[in-house]
């Protein structure tokens, strides 16, 4: 990494209005200048812009710096009292000197909160424009620093307190969160300053911001000693508390030059200068240290982590990505070459867990905090608390609607499946052997021979029972775990594929390919459309015959375990619903309990709370995880009907379901799930199944690319199968994945399958179209 | 449940000083009186107590109520200007009328923050005394209400803002958290009032408090319309925002009667009266509804939950406990008979996860919130982020010190064990068959025959591999799961027991009992003491012989898996360290990898970060969970040395450890763990092993009780084995457990074993001695 060109950005927060943010900015800016650190001061949002230039914070800082004040066109329009300036991104001052400059971007005349100023004057600036304008300033400054091979400092002064509304009404701390610059908080020395300052600090930190300093303009002799009290309460954190001399002004800002003279006197005080220089040095040191540390994290990770599913022999530092934070479905990663942070779209949805956008992520944080303080964890058996009760209601009224009456909690998808198998097998045993089998120690039965009917290419988790429930593969051979035994009968599903813009059904592992006139994947699930497809009757017969042939010889089948609609880990393979309906129907006919593994497919992955509504079949048992907590913390659940539950009722305690984990039904996880359900129900439930994320025409175009064997999209998932070697060891997608990462898209292939997965709260027009365009470009 | 006698308590919070908390209290109190709701107003902490009675908020509320003002002795001492009043719990007014009364408990003369007043005047009131005094007031009022069969309202007005320091310096919201009364927040109508009010609200809620109303004294015509902005930002929450007419005073409090006249005028305004009555009605309705709902939760739980390890057939509503919140290791439960909340000591440490005390619980909440906002969840393989890096350092420098170099993350203890077995077996296979076995598909070996050496009565989790690794029992028979196969060789450990005050070693399932002169359990682990025990050489020889006899015939032993020092779920059985050392030594001699299951025993359960330091043996692989996150959320880890890790390095990706979970190394869990480690390291690491929780003499006394077969204590665990039927189905402890619950101790027996488990941050003198006293009383 080059030295020089490193830019430390700091937000200047105030615990509230009028605590001295601008004074601190003046002091820090001029200290930076004295220390020969190139400095740029930025006031993105300024109200009270009128004829008197000193009412603008930027003007005062510019004066303190002895530099020009660059006023953006939006703010200028306020000064001039003219309308206009909307959506111009401020336009402020990317041309200023790299060594010392001040700029104001957006401005309104009335000296009120920005949201009220917009109400009075109009000229709304959307949140995204504010963020983009600041980022442009950062980038421009960074370029100048790079050109001059210097390290610099940018100060961004917030208007009001952290939860003051911005122009759109969005609270400033929420509005600025996509930037997540570290901050300096200017606290209050007044009566009530301790509670105000500490609350402001909590509001900043609960949004994932870091603070390095808490500065307080307080007279150590005459003041309330808020500094000492604050110091006691932030002890042990990273935040350093410092005191600066207050400016006891006899004039006010409207006194113009008089005020500025006072300001300059204050700035020239030895104490002010020394304090400010200490802070600037701290900030620059901390930034350079952090840049250095981030690069070194890779080596430490390589040395101490044991990654899942990663062959460490082949791993080098270059492949390791440093994630500094996540903003909705965007990672902010460290770019070692440039020595700065860079975004990467999380196209794997963080292993398919990504629920919230950034706003929801911050709301979630508060819900988790509340639950942690109210409950922490509490033991579950024979207890009830509000979060688990609400979560159970959400599940039974949601995906369990119409068939489930009981919820069993565990920690993840894998444990939810183990529990589901225990439930199904008990049902099977009781149905087959009668309830007396529970107490009969001498019952003669081939328990070990109980098999589960599954789909080939299925995946249900990595614990032993989950692995025994899928066919032998590289994932579960004896070298992975000597105890692995195939205890399943895996059937080959009929898959749905699009190539060259044409949809077909691939039956019997490709031995029969049925072309269809369908235009999209959803057509296959639409009974009205499907009724007109004249090959369906024939297909149904064929499916039934094959299923019967495969299963008839097995007489000890204890459960059917399937991922309905789509197999995720198996390669994003979409299955003909007709085939799954035939399979379920056959198993039902034989009294085999049906388990839906909805861990990947459920909870709006494909637009439906449960894909049972897409498939038109209710299961006897179903498992959920991943999106259940909205992408926050692990939680798994197994839902079941009362007939399954009843098979565990007995006079003996030992015939209960003896399975549990320490954190079973933990209130924090249940609270996260409840918040996710609140959002799912409010936003996604209302137009269930109708939301389009990936454009069908663009997907069809992708299916026509030379390298593409199959391009399919449903709900949040777009999957593209490339030609070349298939399976886990395939390197067919390696070049494409690298190209995507270079373009800011973090994709994790499944062998030769590249997929994009967005959050269920995404919209097609937000970023999906751009991503499809990029993919098309790279494929061509 | 009786009607009447129901008491709604509301905290009156202010977003900061001087926003009108007392005005609101006056309005609500007098509204309650008009509505014939018995009301009690309480000002626990009052500064500025001097000659002018109207400077006391209680006096003004009393006037508004037309009731007397009861001033506690501590506050009276301030008025009188006399020293004294320490620790008398305020002493205020439990004798006042049940229908309308006001009281002030603790008071200081200087009109400053309480912590400064204490600095100036002394007369500190410890936090616990404040809480106790308020609770006494609540209980007294509730009794009066019960006697008169009425429902009432108690208002508790806070001094300053939520994060203002109380008398001891503890922030008020932290200080009051043990009470967790719902609250009404009085917001600010001033400029900066939105950010101040919302931040205050967040600080209250992040501590687990509920708010029902946000009141703002604002002129709807002339004000800043903060009410409307606030309304927008709390939309969708339970909080209702309401506006009341402000009191635009021309006088100030020191004007005495003039001020009071203004106050009375304001109170008589139709608007003030109407608004206040609406709020009081809301509050009373909400409280009665909540009391009703809490009772109904039991029926819903019974109908929709599927509890782990619970035989539902035998379960009735009476056995279900409603947990309203948790305060450190105290549950606050709903007492249906009395219709109010009651504490229960969490003697099972919430399935052995309980780390923090209440203060740490609230700190943890903020850490979780920060991590959720900064990261949410991010995918782990080939990535690195700060929380997982810090967590890995904490583990390798902590329990892994000296032997482990790699950390593998999963979700709970059970998955950590499955991973550990995969690691150990691979090491075993590579050591035995050579590294080429990985690529050799035709290798001839009895993979399915690989066994694990374990201890009888062991427990390692409920997923299949964990269940196959323990001997057959009621937990893992074919009726529980037909796939269960015993794939272990379970050995009978030598147990340590105390009966009648004498310690003995029980060898070979009781066939040999060796009496010892030891005084406590720790003596068995002390080499210096042990060296003087003349039977040790003989014991060692015996142990070695038995272990050799049991294992010699088995030639396919792939791992040793043990809970070192103590078996938790097996019945809190403590094992002779000499026996475990012999066992490990024998296995080491045969090249069998050694796994320590430290999920229960590790991380200061017994005073040591890892019990390897107690036992004096390093493992090859070790698992942690439970206390790892300080009792917040699920997280499991498996630590291993580099020689184990190396067995997965290969040119083929498929020979990597192919095991993972969606939330692997989730940043929220890692952050929780890091915070726990920070506290463990700062507080517990410094005097590792020396902290006594359960008094040894009292434990010896317990061992002398007639019903007691064995009473042992080590670290945070006290276990008492009762005579009578042994094992899971035993009801030998049922009566004792019921007596304990009646006395406020929530104990969950392990068959005939009753145990108390405290948090590692507990101290002997805090509550442990009392608990032992209670147990002794009940046993006698």
Provide the mean pLDDT of chain A.
93
pLDDT band at A97 (very low <50, low <70, confident <90, very high): low
A194 vs B contacts (CB less than 8 Å): 113, 161, 163-165
Locate A604 and state its tokens.
Answer: 């709006």
Q: Which value, in Å, is the radius of gyration of the alpha carbons in chain B?
A: 31
Residue B625 contacts A where some CB pair is shorter than 8 Å: yes
Task: Identify whether residues B657 and B705 lie together within a single domain.
Answer: no
| Structure confidence by residue, pLDDT tens digits, B302-354 | 999 999 999 999 899 999 999 999 999 999 999 988 889 999 999 999 999 98
Q: In chain A, what is the straight-line distance between the N-terminal and C-terminal CA atoms, in Å? A: 33
Residue B102 contacts A where some CB pair is shorter than 8 Å: no
Work out the burial of residue A168: count CB atoms within 10 Å of its CB; fewer than 13 is exposed, 13-18 middle, 19 or more buried.
Answer: middle
Residue B190 contacts A where some CB pair is shorter than 8 Å: no
- The length of chain A, given as a count of residues: 780
Task: Identify whether residues A728 and A613 lie together within a single domain.
Answer: no
Locate A238 and state its tokens.
Answer: 């990273």
Higher local confidence (pLDDT), B252 or B358: B358
The 3-class secondary structure across B471-484, one letter per residue, is CCCCCCCCCCCCCC
* pLDDT(A91) > 60: no
Facing residue for A464 by CB, picked from B304, B368, B418: B418
C-beta separation of B109 from B78 below 8 A: yes
B385 vs A contacts (CB less than 8 Å): 322-324
Name the 3-class secondary structure at A454: strand
Locate B745 and state its tokens.
Answer: 């101790």
pLDDT band at B40 (very low <50, low <70, confident <90, very high): very high
Closest-CA residue to A388 (of A603, A595, A629): A629
Relative to beta strand A717-722, strand B573-574 is: unpaired
* pLDDT(A12) > 80: yes
The C-alpha angle with vertex A74 and arms to A68 and A75, in degrees rounded to 5, equals 50
Is residue A313 assigned to a domain?
Answer: no
Expressed in percent and rounded to 5, the helix, strand and coil fractions of chain A are 40, 20, 40
B480 vs A contacts (CB less than 8 Å): 422, 658
Q: What is the pLDDT of residue A95?
A: 43
Q: What is the pLDDT of residue B78?
A: 87
Minimum mean pLDDT among A53-57, A275-279, A693-697, B55-59: which range? A53-57
- Sign of the dihedral defined by the CA atoms of residues B460, B462, B465, B468, in that order: positive
* pLDDT(B766) > 80: no
Nearest C-alpha in B relative to A439 = B479
> What order do you get walking across the sheet with B211-217 strand by strand?
B69-71, B100-107, B39-46, B152-157, B7-14, B183-187, B211-217, B240-244
**Where do we find the tokens 């813009």?**
A501
Task: Identify whether residues B408 and B549 lie together within a single domain.
Answer: yes
Locate B658 and state its tokens.
Answer: 């192919």
For the beta carbon of residue A84, count every other beta carbon within 10 angstroms.
11
Is residue B237 assigned to a domain?
Answer: yes
The Cα of B229 is separated from the nearest Cα of chain A by a number of Å equal to: 8
| Structure confidence by residue, pLDDT tens digits, B718-737 | 999 999 988 878 889 999 99
Q: Are B162 and A195 an interchain contact pair (Cβ–Cβ within 8 Å)?
A: yes
Q: Are A224 and B352 an interchain contact pair (Cβ–Cβ within 8 Å)?
A: no
Report the percent of chain B where pLDDT is more than 90: 84
Question: CA dist B538 to A141, B201, B578, Å?
Answer: 78, 68, 11
Task: Identify whether residues A706 and A607 lie together within a single domain.
Answer: no
Closest-CA residue to B353 (of B749, B715, B763, B630): B630
* pLDDT(A98) > 60: no
Report, as an integer, the average pLDDT of A701-708: 96
| Structure confidence by residue, pLDDT tens digits, A239-248 | 999 999 999 8
For the beta carbon of residue B179, count every other beta carbon within 10 angstroms.
18
A203 vs B contacts (CB less than 8 Å): 195, 198-199, 202-203
Report, as an integer, the average pLDDT of A524-533: 89
Best of A188, A384, A394, A757 to substitute, by most chain B Cβ atoms within 10 angstroms, is A384
The residues, any chain, with a CB within 8 Å of residue B128's CB and separated by 6 or more, are none
DSSP state at residue A120: H
CATH of the domain at A599: 3.40.640.10
C-beta separation of B496 from B700 below 8 A: no
Is residue A662 assigned to a domain?
Answer: yes
pLDDT band at A438 (very low <50, low <70, confident <90, very high): confident
**Where do we find the tokens 């709900």?**
A715
Task: Identify whether residues A576 and A702 lie together within a single domain.
Answer: no
The complex's ipTM? 0.97
Name the 3-class secondary structure at B241: strand
* pLDDT(A84) > 60: no
Q: Are A412 and B414 an interchain contact pair (Cβ–Cβ within 8 Å)?
A: no
Name the CA dihedral angle for B562, B568, B570, B574, rounded to a multiple of 10 degrees: 70
Name the 3-class secondary structure at B44: strand
Count A/B contacts: CB-CB distance under 8 Å. 581
| Structure confidence by residue, pLDDT tens digits, B104-132 | 999 999 999 999 999 999 999 999 999 99
Higher local confidence (pLDDT), B726 or B503: B503
B200 vs A contacts (CB less than 8 Å): 195, 199
Nearest C-alpha in B relative to A376 = B632
Question: CA dist A413 to A409, A462, A636, Å?
Answer: 11, 9, 5
Which residues 342-401 of chain A have a CB within 8 Å of chain B? Answer: 346, 348, 350-354, 356, 361-362, 364-366, 368-386, 388-389, 392-393, 396
Minimum mean pLDDT among A136-150, A205-219, A598-612, B251-265: which range? B251-265
Q: What is the pLDDT of residue B437?
A: 87
> d(Cα B18, Cα B160) in Å, to the nearest integer?
8
C-beta separation of B413 from B460 below 8 A: yes
Q: What is the pLDDT of residue A81?
A: 60
Which residues 32-91 of chain A have a CB within 8 Å of chain B? Answer: none
Minimum mean pLDDT among A327-331, B3-7, B423-427: which range? B3-7
Locate B430 and state its tokens.
Answer: 């590579």
C-beta separation of B31 from B364 below 8 A: no
Is residue B714 assigned to a domain?
Answer: yes
Q: Are A368 and B365 an interchain contact pair (Cβ–Cβ within 8 Å)?
A: yes
Locate A172 and state its tokens.
Answer: 């400033």
Minimum mean pLDDT among A630-634, A701-705, B292-296: which range? B292-296
pLDDT band at A83 (very low <50, low <70, confident <90, very high): very low
Q: Are B308 and A651 an interchain contact pair (Cβ–Cβ within 8 Å)?
A: no
Name the 3-class secondary structure at A251: coil
pLDDT band at A3 (very low <50, low <70, confident <90, very high): low
Work out the burial of residue A631: count CB atoms within 10 Å of its CB; fewer than 13 is exposed, 13-18 middle, 19 or more buried.
Answer: buried
Nearest C-alpha in A relative to B635 = A634
Report, as an integer, the average pLDDT of B82-108: 63
Name the 3-class secondary structure at A504: strand
Provide the mean pLDDT of chain B.
93
For residue B180, give its domain range: 7-246
Q: Are A381 and B309 an interchain contact pair (Cβ–Cβ within 8 Å)?
A: yes
Locate A217 and state its tokens.
Answer: 């303009």
Task: Identify whether residues B600 and B666 lie together within a single domain.
Answer: yes
**Where do we find the tokens 């009141």?**
B215
Domain final residue pick, B196, B218, B246: B246
Q: Are A301 and B384 an interchain contact pair (Cβ–Cβ within 8 Å)?
A: yes
Is residue A408 assigned to a domain?
Answer: yes
CATH of the domain at B745: 3.90.1150.10
* pLDDT(B541) > 90: yes
| Structure confidence by residue, pLDDT tens digits, A461-520 | 999 999 999 999 888 888 899 999 999 999 999 999 999 999 999 999 999 999 999 999
Relative to beta strand B636-640, strand B406-410 is: antiparallel
Task: Identify whether residues B601 and B480 lie together within a single domain.
Answer: yes
Work out the burial of residue A774: count CB atoms within 10 Å of its CB; fewer than 13 is exposed, 13-18 middle, 19 or more buried.
Answer: middle
pLDDT band at A87 (very low <50, low <70, confident <90, very high): very low
Task: Identify whether residues B219 and B140 lie together within a single domain.
Answer: yes
Q: What is the pLDDT of residue B465?
A: 98
Give strand pairing partners of A107: A46
Q: What is the pLDDT of residue B3?
A: 67
Q: What is the pLDDT of residue B98?
A: 57
The Cα of A695 is separated from the nearest Cα of chain B by a number of Å equal to: 26
The C-alpha angle with vertex B211 and arms to B210 and B213, in degrees rounded to 5, equals 160
pTM of the model: 0.96
Task: Identify whether residues A666 and A737 lie together within a single domain.
Answer: no
Q: What is the pLDDT of residue A613?
A: 95
* pLDDT(A2) > 60: no
Residue B654 contacts A where some CB pair is shorter than 8 Å: yes
C-beta separation of A491 from A554 below 8 A: no
Q: What is the pLDDT of residue A705?
A: 96
Which residues 486-515 of chain B have a CB within 8 Å of chain A? Answer: 487
Q: Are A376 and B356 an interchain contact pair (Cβ–Cβ within 8 Å)?
A: yes
Q: Are B161 and A199 an interchain contact pair (Cβ–Cβ within 8 Å)?
A: yes
Domain final residue pick, A687, A714, A742: A687
Q: What DSSP element (H or E) covers A71?
A: strand A69-71
C-beta separation of A107 from A91 below 8 A: no
Facing residue for B308 by CB, picked from A385, A659, A729: A659
| Structure confidence by residue, pLDDT tens digits, A709-719 | 999 999 999 99
A291 vs B contacts (CB less than 8 Å): none
| Structure confidence by residue, pLDDT tens digits, B553-593 | 999 999 999 999 999 999 999 999 999 999 999 999 999 99
Q: What is the pLDDT of residue B87?
A: 38
* pLDDT(A602) > 90: yes
* pLDDT(B226) > 50: yes
CATH of the domain at B85: 3.40.50.300
* pLDDT(A145) > 80: yes
Q: Are A389 and B303 an interchain contact pair (Cβ–Cβ within 8 Å)?
A: no
Q: What is the pLDDT of residue A86?
A: 40
Q: Are A306 and B657 an interchain contact pair (Cβ–Cβ within 8 Å)?
A: yes
Report, as an integer, the average pLDDT of B52-58: 87
Residue A380: phi and psi, rounded to 5, are -95, -50
Is residue A745 assigned to a domain?
Answer: yes
Task: Identify whether residues A589 and A712 lie together within a single domain.
Answer: no
Is residue A501 assigned to a domain?
Answer: yes
C-beta separation of A243 from A220 below 8 A: yes
Report, as an integer, the average pLDDT of A20-36: 96
Residue B479 contacts A where some CB pair is shorter than 8 Å: yes
Label residues B618-649 b or e (16+ Cβ within 10 Å = b).
Answer: bbbbbbbbbbbbbbbbbbbbbbbbeebbbbbe
| Structure confidence by residue, pLDDT tens digits, B446-480 | 999 999 999 999 999 999 999 999 999 888 888 89
Name the 3-class secondary structure at B649: coil
Taking phi over 0 as left and psi of -120 to 50 as alpha, with beta for the rest, B117 belongs to: alpha
Looking at the 3D structure of chain B, how many domains does it have? 3
Q: What is the pLDDT of residue A701?
A: 97
Is residue A340 assigned to a domain?
Answer: no
pLDDT band at A47 (very low <50, low <70, confident <90, very high): very high
Task: Identify whether residues A668 and A709 lie together within a single domain.
Answer: no
Largest CA distance in chain B: 100
DSSP state at residue B105: E
The beta-carbon contacts of B219-226 under 8 Å, at least 24 apart in sequence, are B219/B189, B219/B245, B219/B246, B223/B189, B224/A112, B224/A113, B224/A116, B224/B189, B224/B190, B224/B191, B224/B193, B225/A116, B226/B187, B226/B188, B226/B189, B226/B190, B226/B193, B226/B194, B226/B197
Where are any strands of DSSP class E within A276-336? 321-327, 330-335
For the beta carbon of residue A317, count every other beta carbon within 10 angstroms.
13
Q: What DSSP element (H or E) covers A271?
A: helix A270-304
Task: Identify whether residues B605 and B731 lie together within a single domain.
Answer: no
pLDDT band at A24 (very low <50, low <70, confident <90, very high): very high
Domain final residue pick, A641, A664, A687: A687
Relative to beta strand A321-327, strand A330-335 is: antiparallel
pLDDT band at B81 (very low <50, low <70, confident <90, very high): low
């Amino acid at each position: 990494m080059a030295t020089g060109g490193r830019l430390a950005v700091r937000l200047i927060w105030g615990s509230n209005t009028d605590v001295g943010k601008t004074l601190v900015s003046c002091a820090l800016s001029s200290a930076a200048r004295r220390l020969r650190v190139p400095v740029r001061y930025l006031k993105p949002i300024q109200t009270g812009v009128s004829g008197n230039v000193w009412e603008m914070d930027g003007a005062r800082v510019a004066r303190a710096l002895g530099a020009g004040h660059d006023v953006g066109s939006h703010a200028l329009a306020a000064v001039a009292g003219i309308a206009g300036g909307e959506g111009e991104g401020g336009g402020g001052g990317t041309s200023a000197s790299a060594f010392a400059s001040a700029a104001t971007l957006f401005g309104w005349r009335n000296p009120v909160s920005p949201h009220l100023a917009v109400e009075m004057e109009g000229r709304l600036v959307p949140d995204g424009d504010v963020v983009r304008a600041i980022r442009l300033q950062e980038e421009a400054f960074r370029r100048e620093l790079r050109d001059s091979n210097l390290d610099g400092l940018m100060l961004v002064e917030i208007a009001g307190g952290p939860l003051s509304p911005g122009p759109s009404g969005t609270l400033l701390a929420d509005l600025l969160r996509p930037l997540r610059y570290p901050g300096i908080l200017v606290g209050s020395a007044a009566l009530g300053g301790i509670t105000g300052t500490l609350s402001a600090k909590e509001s900043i930190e609960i949004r994932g911001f870091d603070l390095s300093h808490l500065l307080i303009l307080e007279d150590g002799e005459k003041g309330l000693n808020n500094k000492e009290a604050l110091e006691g309460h932030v002890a042990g954190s990273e935040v350093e508390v410092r005191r600066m001399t207050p400016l006891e002004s006899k004039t006010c800002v409207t006194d113009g030059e008089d005020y500025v003279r006072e300001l300059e006197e204050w700035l020239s005080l030895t104490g002010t200068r020394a304090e400010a220089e200490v802070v600037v040095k701290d900030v620059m040191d901390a930034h350079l240290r952090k840049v250095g540390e981030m690069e070194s994290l890779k080596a430490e990770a390589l040395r101490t982590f044991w990654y899942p599913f990663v062959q460490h022999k082949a791993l080098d530092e270059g492949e390791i990505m440093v994630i500094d934070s996540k903003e909705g479905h965007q990672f902010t990663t460290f770019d070692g070459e440039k020595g700065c942070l860079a975004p990467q779209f999380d196209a794997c949805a963080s292993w398919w867990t990504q629920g919230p956008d950034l706003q929801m992520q911050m709301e979630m944080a508060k819900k988790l905090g509340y639950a942690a303080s109210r409950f922490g964890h509490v033991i579950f058996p024979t207890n009830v608390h509000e979060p688990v009760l609400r979560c159970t209601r959400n599940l039974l009224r949601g995906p369990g609607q119409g068939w489930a009456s009981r919820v069993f909690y565990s920690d993840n998808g894998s444990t939810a499946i183990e529990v589901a198998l225990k439930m199904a097998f008990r049902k099977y045993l009781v149905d087959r052997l009668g309830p007396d089998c529970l107490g009969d120690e001498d019952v003669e039965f081939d328990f070990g021979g109980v098999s589960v009917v599954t789909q080939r290419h299925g995946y249900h988790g990595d614990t032993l029972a989950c692995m025994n429930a899928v066919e032998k593969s590289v994932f579960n051979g004896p070298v992975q775990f000597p105890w692995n035994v195939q205890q399943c009968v895996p059937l080959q599903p009929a898959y749905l594929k699009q190539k060259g813009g044409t949809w077909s059904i691939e039956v019997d592992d490709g031995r029969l390919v049925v072309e269809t006139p369908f235009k999209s994947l959803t057509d296959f699930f639409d009974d009205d459309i499907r009724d007109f497809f004249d090959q369906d009757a024939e297909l149904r017969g064929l499916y039934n015959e094959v299923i019967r042939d495969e299963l008839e010889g097995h007489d000890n089948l204890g459960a059917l375990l399937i991922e309905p609609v789509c197999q995720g880990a198996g390669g994003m393979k979409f299955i003909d619903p007709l085939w799954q309906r035939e399979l379920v129907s056959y198993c039902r006919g034989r009294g085999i309990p049906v388990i839906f593994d909805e861990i990947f497919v459920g909870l709006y992955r494909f637009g439906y709370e449960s894909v049972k509504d897409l498939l038109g079949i209710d299961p006897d048992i179903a498992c959920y995880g991943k999106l259940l907590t909205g992408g926050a913390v692990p939680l798994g659940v197994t839902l079941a009907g009362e007939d399954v539950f009843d098979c565990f009722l007995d006079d003996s305690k030992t015939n209960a379901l003896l399975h549990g984990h320490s954190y079973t039904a933990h209130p924090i996880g249940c609270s996260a799930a409840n918040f996710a359900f609140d959002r799912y129900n409010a936003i996604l439930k209302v137009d269930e199944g109708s939301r389009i994320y990936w454009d069908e025409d663009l997907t069809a175009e992708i299916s026509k690319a030379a390298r593409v064997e199959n391009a399919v999209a449903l709900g949040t998932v777009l999957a593209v199968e490339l030609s070349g070697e298939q399976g886990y060891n395939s390197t067919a997608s390696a070049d494409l994945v690298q190209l995507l990462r270079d373009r800011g898209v973090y994709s994790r292939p499944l062998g030769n399958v590249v997929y994009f997965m967005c959050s269920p709260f995404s919209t097609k027009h937000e970023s999906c179209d751009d991503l499809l365009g990029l993919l098309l470009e790279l494929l061509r």
